[in-house]
Structure 1
């Protein structure tokens, strides 16, 4: 058993032709700069991010992963991960919203048959859908029943990202007759769907989170994307479908790293300026203070180390996606374990950076006008929803006993 080396990628070129990584990274930086101009004001207002989604749509970032022939960006997952990280550095909430959208908009590729997956992907790109929802297991589950009128969906899904602004909802439901868990895509304008913006979190306020109630909602055959499973039964999901777990968790990794890099960048500007821009009378600790230098050094090493591990995980996921149905279960386990390591490292980096950056700035960091607290609140909200203690246990079990990490979709 190796330590999660990336499987070899095939040499055949990708059929997803688009402008390329450099182009989309430039677009993401421009979008992030735009978001950064009013992040504090928007975050404190806490309104549903319709305007922010419009900015992403106009920049072409919503359709980034869609096929170019259908109006999409034709980009790959490494590009999508880089975009999420850039946006998260400026606005963690919108970074989460965008990352969740990428994962859910790709869900048909993981779980659906090829023809349905292509049809869903093409329509999503052509109509520029924004996706919200989630596949995490919950109790009581949503129930999918077969009636004389066809399939109907009932139940309530608690807090999920993006639902307030979504054009499509991707949810997990259980078949009433067999208990089989399924991935389902639902038009939120369909009769019987009620979205409630009842979320009152202290962080990630602009992630458009809310609850969704389904009351006898009609579900068409094409809305049922395919089977899900939270079990470890390898016969239940193909390795290709199981890749939804590490691919989704790697979105979390990039989001956390973006937050860590964002808060360090803002703190560095304050330290270099010698004063806080909004409060000239409040001097920032000298840029030559040994304690300040040591703190920046430690946080830089922590973040860069987590970033290097994330890069390894990203290469592994991309290689596994390229192998498709040729991916073996042992290779999948290697990839899943490596992503778990990267998520644990990124979680620690985000929590350390967002906490200690406030210590570096000192009492001035409590100013609501500076808004530095948003980094800590956003990172802490995310890490509470995506705890890594069980991920570390899975890594230990994999390292010591060779046990395959369980299939767990991100919250």
Structure 2
């Protein structure tokens, strides 16, 4: 989806089609709903970002539009959409509001992972409960030091420790986190109920960007974890982690790609509108906009479209890998994972260049806090600091030179 929402004539987000067919409302429906929701978010994006409040209202908008249950099966009360649609949704929302795009992308990844890692029976039960309650998921599986610790207790487990940053936890109905087993040190994914008195969510994420992503710290003091809430292993050992299970990495990292592309497209769309308003070319007399500015617009457009094309290739490779299922080999996994790393790097470059140079195209006008164009740069920079592109470039280079399999890395 190539452009951010326009900044005028916004419609209120509409809900899912009623009643949905056996296969769900369909991609066209969800793209329309997403555009309406993005338009709605764009109307007050600057004011909301500057206020920096916990995004309860924004989550309500996503819930009312039916977007929280997008990936859940129709039989469970969800939208029945595929990952290609989810990626397009995150990108469109991120173009209007990058922080909400991150919150939604994190929700998709964690809610899907809960079913994917848990196995068919427990996964289906979690999926159904999540869709029925329209849960918003927060948390994260990226490695942290010191880790949360999972200890056996009776017929289940208890969770202790602190996770320093997790997206969406301030507004989450369920939290999914990474922990290590106290007896073996194996990393596993677990889910917890944020309403439990032993769990505290602390709103201490004071970053200068992505302020509405609902991020914070999670502190656990003897939080009970039932057996079916231990979703599965996150071990990077190829003897433990199958190629199919390892797909959680590229599936999640492609959400980061879409977030970055959405930011790049969003800032270019807004700056284009202001540029058009400042000077309308007279075709008879030639362009009124400076030729260097036109060249810069062209360069940034080429950069973003190129990154988008690479993202499409990576998405198709991941789709084929998911369809291969248990037949997927480690060599095939390595190839698609490297392709995703290439897309991450390209999208990071597009976001970095677009958010910085787009301001120069407007000159001093871009410094106006009323326009709020600085939020694009701050959001992109904050995201890249949490998830730097350097390690992904090293993975690509190592694979190119020696064919080395990239490490199993989960998105922050």
Note the residue ranges of structure 1 that are not aligned, 5 or more in a row: 1-14, 276-285
1:269 paired residue number: 273
Partner of 2:165, secondary structure, is strand
1:393 paired residue number: 394
1:169 paired residue number: 175
Aligned Cα RMSD in Å? 1.5
Residue 140 of structure 2 is aligned to residue 109 of structure 1: no
TM-score (norm 2): 0.92
2:95 paired residue number: 89
2:284 paired residue number: none
1:144 paired residue number: 150
Shift of 1:208: 0.3
Q: Which has the higher contact order (CA 8 A, sep 6+)?
A: 1
CA offsets per residue over residues 384-403 of structure 1, 9 Å max, x none?
11101110110111111111
Shift of 1:251: 0.2
Partner of 2:170, secondary structure, is coil
1:323 paired residue number: 324
Residue 80 of structure 2 is aligned to residue 74 of structure 1: yes
Shift of 1:325: 1.2
* 8 Å contact from structure 1 (residues 181, 228) kept in 2: yes
* 8 Å contact from structure 1 (residues 16, 76) kept in 2: no
From 227, 241, 244, give the equivalent of 2:248. Answer: 244
* 8 Å contact from structure 2 (residues 139, 177) kept in 1: yes
1:359 paired residue number: 360
Mark the CA change 1:287 to 1:79 in structure 2 (over 3 Å): closer, same or farther. farther
CA offsets per residue over residues 134-179 of structure 1, 9 Å max, x none?
0011111100111347411000011110000000000001110111
Residue 57 of structure 2 is aligned to residue 51 of structure 1: yes
Residue 194 of structure 2 is aligned to residue 193 of structure 1: no
* 8 Å contact from structure 1 (residues 193, 212) kept in 2: yes
* 8 Å contact from structure 1 (residues 111, 228) kept in 2: no
Aligned equivalents of 2:315 and 2:351: distance in 1? 18
Aligned equivalents of 2:22 and 2:232: distance in 1? 23
CA offsets per residue over residues 266-312 of structure 1, 9 Å max, x none?
0000111117xxxxxxxxxx753101100000000000000000000
Shift of 1:359: 0.5
Aligned equivalents of 2:333 and 2:315: distance in 1? 13
Aligned equivalents of 1:191 and 1:326: distance in 2? 43
Aligned equivalents of 2:135 and 2:323: distance in 1? 25
* 8 Å contact from structure 2 (residues 155, 227) kept in 1: no
Mark the CA change 1:109 to 1:287 in structure 2 (over 3 Å): closer, same or farther. farther
1:334 paired residue number: 335
Shift of 1:199: 1.1
2:212 paired residue number: 206
2:238 paired residue number: 234
Partner of 1:194, secondary structure, is strand
Stretches (4+) displaced over 2 A: 147-150
Shift of 1:256: 0.2
* 8 Å contact from structure 1 (residues 287, 293) kept in 2: no
Shift of 1:323: 1.6
Shift of 1:111: 1.6
Aligned equivalents of 1:321 and 1:126: distance in 2? 26
Shift of 1:191: 2.2
* 8 Å contact from structure 2 (residues 118, 228) kept in 1: no
Partner of 1:379, secondary structure, is helix
Note the residue ranges of structure 2 that are not aligned, 5 or more in a row: 1-20, 280-286
CA offsets per residue over residues 32-63 of structure 1, 9 Å max, x none?
00000000000000000000000000000000
Q: How many residues align?
A: 386
